[in-house]
Amino acid sequence: MPPLQFTLTGDFIELHNLLKLMGLADSGGSAKARVEMGDVTVDGKVELRKTAKIRAGQVVKLDGQTIRVPE
């Protein structure tokens, strides 16, 4: 799958919101559950914080799909 791109409109986006907005989770609750289960990585490390602040330059992965947040 080609990587997805998400352009920030502010300083950051919370991880669970990013997953929901990019269509990798059906709902906010589903996104939070996937993070809690350890299914999501940020910059190659498992991220367990649902509200982790994702900033420009970071890479998020879930189920083989990559989301890049350009600087």
Q: Distance between CA atoms of 61 and 24, rounded to whole angstroms?
A: 10
**Do residues 23 and 4 make contact, with C-beta atoms less than 8 angstroms apart?**
no
22 token code pair? 């990019």
Q: Which domain holds residue 22?
A: 4-68
| Residue 60's CATH number | 3.10.290.10
Q: Distance between CA atoms of 16 and 29, rounded to whole angstroms?
A: 8
Task: State the number of CA atoms in the 13 A half-sphere of 47 facing the CB.
Answer: 23
Q: Match 């986006």 to its residue by tokens.
A: 13
Centre a 10 Å sphere on the Cβ of residue 52 and count the other Cβ atoms it contains. 19
Low-confidence stretches of the chain (pLDDT beneath 50): none
> Which pTM does this prediction carry?
0.94
pLDDT single digits (tens) 17-30: 999 999 999 999 99
Number of domains in the chain: 1
